[in-house]
Structure 1
Amino acid sequence: MTAAARRLAPAPAGAGWNAAVGAMVNPSDRRGGTLRLVSSADVDSLDPARTYYVWVWLLQRLLNRTLMAYPTDSGPAGLVPVPDLAEGPGQVSDGGRTWTYRLRPGLRYDNGSPITAADVRHAVQRVFAQDVLPGGPTYLVPLLDDPTRPYPGPYRTAEPLRSVRTPDEHTVVFHLNRPFSDFDHLMAQPCAAPVPRHADTGADYGSAPRSSGPYRVAQHRPGAFLHLERNPHWDRATDPIRPALPDRVELTIGLDIDELDARLIGGDFDINLEGRGLQHEAQRRLTADDVLRSHTDNPRTSFLHFVSVQPHIPPFDDVHARRAVHYAADKILLQQARGGPVTGGDLTTALFPPRLPAHQDLDLYPTGPDLRGDLDAARAELKAAGLPDGFEATIGTQRGKFRLVADALAESVARVGIRLTVKELDVATYFSLGAGHPQTVRRHELGLIVTDWGADFPTEYGFLAPLVDGRHIKHNGGNWNLPELDDPLVNDLIDETLHTTDPEARARRWRAVERRVMEHAVLLPLVHDKTLHFRNPWVTNVYVHPAFGLYDIQGMGLASGAPTGNDS
């Protein structure tokens, strides 16, 4: 037995391997202590309008409240947003175009000032200021904007957004330009967290944000640490979501991934907030030790790990060159690069995860019965592209598992003469200024990009639209439509889904969207992710949130006798 295993107590009753998937480990209402979190990457932004990392969205649940929020629930109910700042779900009228919310009484920021409906409207207006606040989701823009008179955001005009009304201090009314049945989900995103206009410093707001949640920023040194303390004006009686058990929350930032794993298992930290899972060395160590293994979870996260094939970077502007990569991919080797079938993910040739109704068995580019690649088909596509001897290209990635995937794909396609150079980009800015920035992609001529994606909210629209809808392309960073696909048929089919009330008919339309996207061969799906997470036994209320696929830190607490302090 290892030293770390001897230090750890046996798994509590009801705990064990995968015990926090679909259930809560160590339920407790004990208050106090310091929850010690760790991540290798930095927080992308503390401005709720600019963050897009899923783990930072979980962090935002400590700092900010929204009209709606996902409940503290480990089961299917966790997928359905419930009222948070609002007294109830959105009241829908005008054929699904008008949504009305009323705020709970007695809501305050961390400085004691009241939270008003105007603050919610101002937060929504900030989403339109992409020239000042790039990086976050922009679903609200096409739903609330007037194409004949585009709203420039609150920094370019004093005129309010006309599609959002505040008839009194407690009521917010949204007038959508088309029906959108998932609107409650949008009101659960961080960008909908209230921001008082008098405290808004534009691009600098993330350095000193107001807090509407149970914690506020005590200290923040980007790239090093983030410390949170209790918000003295948060009232538990007004908050049905957050137990707010620890007195402090401390996040250590920037550790090397292998050092992070070792120190987490050694007890220096309680939970890895970033949630990318243990690296291969730590995986082997934990799965070989029964005690350590009893403190791990291996959830299906519903994240899609994939490679984007960039049609605006030659020679991938030819669909045959893109298809050659699909056929040449050794799926088994790529799955092994992720960690194998147990901890790396379930192989997939489709985009939608199995839990969504539109999931289908779609395989337009079969790679042979052994899944090692159809090299004859790949060579035929290269010949059709006028490149029978292959070509050179660059694949963008980051360190860790992403790099292993890039190396595995390079090995796969080299068998048909495609010679890839691997380009590592910065981890902290990978999605905001690296792979997610079209200018960076062009500057480095990244013909292929390794990435993963989890739904912004757990519906077909929340999963696929940001990846393939041409209206979601962002040119200033934070772009998730990496191939910059702008197919009018795809866009029109997506719009049809929003007007379809019959669930089966809506699922059929989404399947048509998926098929059309795969015909373009711009996304190479690899696995629907599974990750191996480690939870120290003194952490209470541990569960994998079904809407996020990661541990929900806002519900966590600490058992009596938990370690305190951090020497990092």
Structure 2
Amino acid sequence: MNRKTLVLPAVVGLLAPVLAGCGSGDEGAGGGNAIVVGTTDQLVASQENPAPLDPAIGYEAGVWNVLRQTVQTLTAVPTGGGEPVPEAARSCTFTDTENESYRCTLRPGLTFADQTPVTADDVKHSIQRIIDIDADTGPVGLLANVDAIETKGDDQVIFHLKTPDATFPYKLATPAAGIVPKEHYPAKAPRKGLQVNGSGPYTMKPQVEDGRVVKITFDRNPSYKGGLKVLNDTVEMDLFPDAEAMGKALEEKKIHMMTRAMSPEQAHDMLVNPREGVELTEMPGLAISYLGFDTKDPVVNKAVRQAIAQLIDRGEIAGKVYGTTAEPLYSLIPSSIPGHTNAFFNKYGEPSTAKAAETLREAGIETPVKFTLHYTNDHYGSATAEEFKAIQQQLNGSGLFDVSVEGKEWSAYRAEQKRGDYAAYGMGWFPDFPDPDNYTAPFLDENNFLNSPYRSREAQDVLIPRSRRESDRTAAAATYEKIQDIVATDVPLLPIWQGKQYVAARDGIAGVERSVSSTSELQLWELNRHSA
């Protein structure tokens, strides 16, 4: 997947007494003192993608979960949220009142895990190569506003931006801006393979079978100097094909903790029937699911998209398909992010066949409107098929549409979506950082994530630049309200639901509630053991 695509696990047919068990999780799992964490993320090196763990290439949630542990960034968002703080840097600040020049000074004595010094030139190399490689599926969009990178001595880096951007410290806190050694990462080409070298809190050793990572051992990096407190010596990450296999491993005490991603059925079952020796933790989630449209395709013109927006029953989809793990969403910006408004509800209200019919009639559109709604059948889990069946039934049940649905493997799906082969399609989004900019600019700005032909000059040329000039992010709320209203009116995207996060861990493991950020990234350094 592309990092910015939300991954949900399989939902159908999972769990009976999957999570039964009791006692301390120390028994069996991993051996030794390693804390063993399960995930359904997939990491594969292939002919099509030979460099999945290169920060210039990997823009997937699973990839970022590896990079978070192994490479440092100049800044970091605190575990509990808030504004970025120095990490590899000892200080960072804008040096002008326009938020166009940002200076960082490195911590003294900073080295990579092999004891090679980390210098300002390494920082410049690491970030410039992201821009120069300009990978189609990579995170270059986060750094597109960088005009030039200047170094002063061995410890100072100055970023000159093309336009003001108060969110730039957040972007430097993402793995896209991870610092890597020149020896292993060429300036103009990706680093192939499944190894990562950096100066982060851990070193990593992958276990690979047929080009696919099945386990990663993260050992504490004794050379690490940064703002994070590492509370364990070793964490093993086991990669499972699905949530059912991960749940079975927890039951059999082969892992201590299951993270990304428990299925909605598993979470519901544990909420209703708590398991002795296993604790379920619910955490805020900022992931969203949405429909995208090729706005140049006449089949899904503006009136058709508005009619769809008037028909979709988000509450039914969230409740019946995802249960407690999702809630209806009426804006691209989740309800827990400052600046959120219920823009779609404000414009369309409750689902209404009559209003949708009137919209189509006034536009002179013959009904039923026929098109195919595409989704990926192997990337978000089996719940995706159920979700799109529900959407199909809602649209066709109105008598105004004749929609078919088609699933395809992600390897082909993403390329075809970006190429413009689909009139309508489903996608998901994990934010890079918890700011409304990251729910708007990636979809509406130049070189947008979806390669969408949609353009709102007001949003792109006026509102997004205006929002980025506000150092006080709450002061940008009125600007984001206008952006959300534009999206609700033009419907280039149609938000469906906002997710929640659940993590299950066996007794004896502490720090679970801090080990996953609101943006769904693992923070393994927070895990530690305590007495059961």
The TM-score range, normalised by the shorter chain, is 0.7 to 0.9
One-letter amino acid matched to 2:95: V
Moved more, 178-187 or 260-269: 260-269
Distance in structure 2 (CA, Å) of the matches to 1:419 and 1:108: 60
Shift in Å, 1:125:
0.7
Q: Tell me if the contact between 2:326 and 2:497 (Cα under 8 Å) persists in the aligned partners.
A: yes
Q: CA 1:42/1:336 → structure 2, altered by over 3 Å: closer, same or farther?
A: farther
Distance in structure 2 (CA, Å) of the matches to 1:386 and 1:79: 48
Q: CA 1:216/1:385 → structure 2, altered by over 3 Å: closer, same or farther?
A: farther
- Alignment equivalent of 1:497, drawn from 449, 467, 483: 467
**Where in structure 2 are the equivalents of 1:157-196 lying within 5 Å?**
163-196=148-181
Q: For 1:132-154, what per-residue CA distance to the aligned partner results, in whole angstroms no more than 9, with x for missing partners?
A: 5742242222x223xxxxxxxxx
Q: Tell me if the contact between 1:103 and 1:170 (Cα under 8 Å) persists in the aligned partners.
A: yes
**Where in structure 2 are the equivalents of 1:369-448 lying within 5 Å?**
373-383=351-361, 384=363, 386-398=365-377, 399-415=381-397, 416-427=399-410, 429=411, 434-435=413-414, 437=415, 439-440=416-417, 442=419, 445-448=421-424
Distance in structure 1 (CA, Å) of the matches to 2:271 and 2:523: 23
- Alignment equivalent of 1:472, drawn from 439, 447, 457: 447
1:552 matched residue in structure 2: 523
Distance in structure 2 (CA, Å) of the matches to 1:211 and 1:504: 35
- Alignment equivalent of 1:241, drawn from 225, 228, 245: 228
Q: Tell me if the contact between 1:32 and 1:558 (Cα under 8 Å) persists in the aligned partners.
A: no
Distance in structure 2 (CA, Å) of the matches to 1:171 and 1:215: 25
Shift in Å, 1:206:
5.1
Q: Structure 1 unaligned runs (5+)?
A: 12-30, 146-162, 474-478, 562-568
- Alignment equivalent of 1:485, drawn from 427, 433, 454: 454
TM-score, length-scaled by structure 1: 0.79
Q: For 1:351-386, what per-residue CA distance to the aligned partner results, in whole angstroms no more than 9, with x for missing partners?
A: 222333312232255353xxxx31122223333252
Distance in structure 2 (CA, Å) of the matches to 1:180 and 1:307: 28
Distance in structure 1 (CA, Å) of the matches to 2:232 and 2:193: 25
Distance in structure 2 (CA, Å) of the matches to 1:455 and 1:57: 12
1:15 matched residue in structure 2: none
Q: CA 1:9/1:232 → structure 2, altered by over 3 Å: closer, same or farther?
A: closer
Distance in structure 1 (CA, Å) of the matches to 2:319 and 2:242: 22
Q: Tell me if the contact between 2:164 and 2:465 (Cα under 8 Å) persists in the aligned partners.
A: no
Q: Tell me if the contact between 1:468 and 1:484 (Cα under 8 Å) persists in the aligned partners.
A: no
Identical-pair percentage: 19
Q: CA 1:242/1:53 → structure 2, altered by over 3 Å: closer, same or farther?
A: farther
TM-score, length-scaled by structure 2: 0.84
Moved more, 380-389 or 58-67: 380-389
1:223 matched residue in structure 2: 212
Shift in Å, 1:124:
1.1
2:118 matched residue in structure 1: 115
One-letter amino acid matched to 2:357: R
Distance in structure 2 (CA, Å) of the matches to 1:409 and 1:168: 58
One-letter amino acid matched to 1:107: L
Q: Tell me if the contact between 1:38 and 1:260 (Cα under 8 Å) persists in the aligned partners.
A: yes
Q: For 1:289-348, what per-residue CA distance to the aligned partner results, in whole angstroms no more than 9, with x for missing partners?
A: 1336971123331222222233234411x11111121122122321124422xx232222
**Where in structure 2 are the equivalents of 1:59-98 lying within 5 Å?**
59-71=66-78, 73=79, 75=80, 78-93=81-96, 95-98=98-101
- Alignment equivalent of 2:348, drawn from 352, 362, 366: 366
1:535 matched residue in structure 2: 505
Q: Tell me if the contact between 2:307 and 2:360 (Cα under 8 Å) persists in the aligned partners.
A: yes
One-letter amino acid matched to 1:302: L
Secondary structure of the residue that 2:180 maps to in structure 1?
Answer: coil
Secondary structure of the residue that 1:305 maps to in structure 2?
Answer: strand
One-letter amino acid matched to 1:461: D
- Alignment equivalent of 1:272, drawn from 249, 258, 276: 258
Shift in Å, 1:466:
0.9
Answering whether residue 185 of structure 2 is matched by residue 214 of structure 1, we say no
Q: Tell me if the contact between 1:51 and 1:57 (Cα under 8 Å) persists in the aligned partners.
A: yes
Shift in Å, 1:452:
2.1
Shift in Å, 1:286:
1.8
Secondary structure of the residue that 1:302 maps to in structure 2?
Answer: coil
Q: CA 1:50/1:537 → structure 2, altered by over 3 Å: closer, same or farther?
A: farther
Moved more, 487-496 or 125-134: 125-134
Answering whether residue 65 of structure 2 is matched by residue 33 of structure 1, we say no
Q: For 1:183-217, what per-residue CA distance to the aligned partner results, in whole angstroms no more than 9, with x for missing partners?
A: 21111111211123232242234533322113223
Distance in structure 1 (CA, Å) of the matches to 2:107 and 2:474: 36
Q: CA 1:441/1:376 → structure 2, altered by over 3 Å: closer, same or farther?
A: farther
Q: CA 1:232/1:534 → structure 2, altered by over 3 Å: closer, same or farther?
A: closer
One-letter amino acid matched to 1:339: Y
Q: Structure 2 unaligned runs (5+)?
A: 1-15, 26-31
One-letter amino acid matched to 2:219: R
Q: CA 1:283/1:198 → structure 2, altered by over 3 Å: closer, same or farther?
A: closer
Q: Tell me if the contact between 2:315 and 2:327 (Cα under 8 Å) persists in the aligned partners.
A: no
Q: For 1:23-74, what per-residue CA distance to the aligned partner results, in whole angstroms no more than 9, with x for missing partners?
A: xxxxxxxx94242332153369311222223343233221111111123x3x
Q: Tell me if the contact between 2:281 and 2:513 (Cα under 8 Å) persists in the aligned partners.
A: no
One-letter amino acid matched to 2:371: E
Shift in Å, 1:176:
1.6
Distance in structure 1 (CA, Å) of the matches to 2:305 and 2:489: 10
Q: CA 1:522/1:262 → structure 2, altered by over 3 Å: closer, same or farther?
A: farther
Distance in structure 2 (CA, Å) of the matches to 1:6 and 1:140: 46
Distance in structure 2 (CA, Å) of the matches to 1:299 and 1:230: 26
1:260 matched residue in structure 2: 246
Q: Tell me if the contact between 2:131 and 2:140 (Cα under 8 Å) persists in the aligned partners.
A: no
One-letter amino acid matched to 1:306: Y
